[in-house]
Structure 1
Amino acid sequence: MSKTSTDPARSSVVLRRQALSGPGMGSRWSALFYAGGNVDEATLTRRLQGAVDRVEQQMSTWLPDSDLERLNSAPVGAWVKVPRDLTHVLAAALEIGRLSAGAFDIGVGDLVKAWGFGGGSRVPDGEGIAALAGRSLFEPPKTLQLDHTGQRARRLAPRRLDLSGIAKGYGVDELARVMTEAGMSSWLVGIDGEMRAEGMKPDGSPWTVAHEKPVPGEREILGVLELSGAAVATSGSYRHRMEVGGRMLSHTMDPFRGAPLESDLAAVTVLAETCMAADAWATALLVRGAKDGPALARRLRLSALFVRTDGEVEATWH
């Protein structure tokens, strides 16, 4: 599917709108861009697919042989050699966890499994849930240690790590890297609603991304975001839910309660320079709630949009 457009700055060059996509990270990745006729779509598609596959192979909890799962299965205290990208994401996750006072916690892997979400999960087991409920998990210095020089990591506590709140965003950043290295100056890339854009369209307008209304079972638009040189990610309690005991539970874990999040926020959308940061902060602010979330976003100068469960909207744009 494509259409042609003329670059006003270079009227002799006809640019064609091109759309590439592929499977990855439990969803699909996409790339939209305008270019002349000299783009090798097959090669670019392979490079984009390869970037997403590498992130998934390193950070997935669904692949038993992923680098993250190797770290999870290693004995507590044992150093494990990990790829540089995984080390980078783990370090970013710990820092955002620190800045959010534990609202973003990658040590919730046991909770995710106990409540029936994530790779290898089963229907929730009452005894397993009771053992985890109410346990605050955020203790970065006592949970994980990183050795950047040696590209190693080791768990310091028997807790499973889960990067589902940040890995997809990093995958989008890797798509962006491939587009830039391929010489593209204007593009929109994304994975399952996490998006990053660069440059403008040939007509001088920015890329646009629809902001969905956070209503379960519906597909309505709340508004439209304009993107250029920025990334956007949304976390919410209205998708990826599961019914347990007659209650609909969110897949987002509350690390303070040791249980699925019960929030007065329906969704949080964050704009940032990287999609990795937007992805993680959207989760962290959702966990902080309708009162503490906006306050934290203002203190850290984060651009965020908060949609309460009663439909009220609050923005902290910077």
Structure 2
Amino acid sequence: MPKTCSDPQRQTLHGPTMGTRWSVTCDMPAGTDTAALHAALAAAVDTVDTQMSPWKPDSDLNRINQAPCHTWVAVPQPLLEVLACALDISRLSRGAFDPGAGALVDAWGFGAARQAPDAQAIRAAAQAPRTPTHEALELDQAGARVRKHAPRQLDLCGIAKGYAVDCMATVLQAHGLAHALVALDGELRALGAQADGTPWAVALERPVPGLRAVQGVLALQDLAVATSGDYRHYLEVGGARLAHSMDTRRGAPVRNDVASVTVLARTCMQADAWATALLVAGVGEGLALAQRQALEALWLLRRGDALVEVGTGRFAPAAPAA
């Protein structure tokens, strides 16, 4: 049973992971063992990093990348769970979300292989035959194993952080806690509301490079949110901003008028992957996709010097008064 917060204490726990930091703001009952909780939270995110990091040569993800085609690779259950979700969203988004974008990510200097674009690597990655990743990768759920049917370099950076947030939420629940806000980079999940019943207030960042400003505020309760954009990690090429997100259908970084996409979902893993998919898809294709999947999503579009909002679900324009 969750611990009640008759005498709640607001605590914030945090630590490093995945080249950034995780944090948990929690209304805790008096007497909560915060040292044990901190250790369990750190272990949860470290497990995700160990299994799914493309930056760690010995990660389970890289064991798949290094394995020959048609060879089964045993993988831990968490990685199998994330791969299953990634392939499902890849199929539903018709490749806008692609967990097989690793070669392009590296070629453009956003991955572990290099720190700047490499023209030869870009040509090779863009011209490689493209079996859709959800067809190129086979999962054996019962046997906890994976095999490739075509060459593919997997990269789960568009979903693994969201999954790590969900893992931290599970840790909090296992410790009997029911009022927390979990964050890792731009991915957040509210576990319940605050102890006084007020939803957690989460700032929606204004997508301006080099500036921390607020576009709006979201009220979260038992809900996750993730944002993908072009304003934190990007390249300037010929005066154009090229986001770190890859559109493998074009064989190039995303290049459209979307500054950011924010998605609400029950799990942060889902919110994280769908935010990436809708950023890549752009507002035209993405709006139809979000409506088909009943997603709650907000696009911020660049229109000259202005930002224009387009959304679905709670972000849709209000109906005119009768």
Is TM (by shorter chain) over 0.5? yes
Deviation at 1:204, TM superposition (A): 2.1
1-side partners of 2:41 and 2:26: how far apart?
13
Residue 109 in structure 1 maps to residue 102 in structure 2 = yes
Q: State which drifts further: 208-217 or 124-133.
A: 124-133
Scaled by the length of structure 1, what TM-score is found? Answer: 0.93
Give the match for residue 312 of structure 1: 308
Deviation at 1:299, TM superposition (A): 1.6
The answer as to whether partners of 1:136 and 1:257 remain within 8 angstroms in 2 is no
Between the aligned partners of 2:12 and 2:57, the Cα distance in structure 1 is 32
Corresponding residue for residue 266 of structure 1: 259
Greater shift after overlay, 49-58 or 191-200? 191-200
Alpha carbons of 1:136 and 1:76: their partners in 2 closer, same or farther (altered >3 Å)?
closer
Aligned letter for 2:309?
V
Could you tell me how far 1:163 is from its partner in structure 2?
0.3
Kindly provide the amino acid, as one letter, of the partner of residue 146 in structure 1.
Answer: L
CA offsets 1:11-50 (integer angstroms, 9 cap, x no match): 9932110000001111100001112221111100000000
Deviation, structure 1 residue 290: 1.5
| Whole-Å separation in 1 of the counterparts to 2:90 and 2:119 | 28
Q: 1:198 to 1:133 in 2, by over 3 A?
A: same
Percent of aligned pairs sharing the same letter: 52
- How far 1:253 moved relative to its partner? 0.4
CA distance in 2, matches of 1:290, 1:54: 35
Superposition pairs for residues 46-57 of structure 1, below 5 Å?
46-57=39-50
Counterpart of 1:186 in structure 2 is 179
Asked if 1:24 corresponds to 2:20, the answer is no
Aligned AA (2:59): S
Give the structure 2 partner of residue 126 of structure 1.
119
Deviation at 1:82, TM superposition (A): 0.2
Deviation, structure 1 residue 137:
3.7
Give 1:80 shift: 0.6
Letter in 2 for 1:69: N
Q: Does 1:294 align with 2:287?
A: yes
Paired residue type of 2:82? V
State the alpha-carbon separation in 2 of the partners of residues 12 and 317 from structure 1.
32
**Paired residues for 1:224-303 under 5 Å:** 224-244=217-237, 247-303=240-296
Matches within 5 A, 1:109-188: 109-133=102-126, 137=130, 139-188=132-181
Give, as a single letter, the amino acid of the residue that structure 2 aligns with 1:31: V
Contact 1:107 1:143 in 2 (8 A): no
Measured in 2, the distance between the counterparts of 1:273 and 1:134 equals 37
**CA distance in structure 2 between the partners assigned to 1:11 and 1:99 by the alignment:** 40
1:263-287 superposed Cα distances (whole Å, 9 cap, x missing partner) = 1111000000000000000000111
Residues 217/12 of structure 1: CA separation in 2 closer, same or farther (3 Å cut): closer
Across the two proteins, how many residue pairs are aligned to each other? 309
Structure 2 counterpart of 1:65: 58
Which amino acid in the other structure matches residue 313 of structure 2?
W
* Displacement after TM superposition at 1:134 (Å): 6.1
CA contact (8 A) 2:228 2:262 kept: yes
Q: Residues 267 and 105 of structure 1: is their aligned pair in 2 closer, same or farther, counting only changes over 3 Å?
A: same
Tell me which amino acid in the other structure corresponds to 2:215: L
Which secondary structure state, in structure 2, belongs to the residue aligned with residue 308 of structure 1?
strand
Q: Structure 2 CA distance, aligned partners of 1:13 and 1:298?
A: 42
In structure 1, the residue matched to 2:33 is 40
Q: Counterparts of 1:186 and 1:11 in 2: how far apart (Å)?
A: 9
In structure 1, C-alpha distance between the alignment counterparts of 2:44 and 2:53, rounded to whole Å? 14
List alignment gaps of at least 5 residues for structure 1: 1-9
In 1, are the aligned partners of 2:88 and 2:134 still within 8 Å (CA)? no
Report if aligned partners of 1:136, 1:256 keep a CA contact under 8 Å in 2.
no
Measure how far apart 1:135 and its partner are. Answer: 5.9
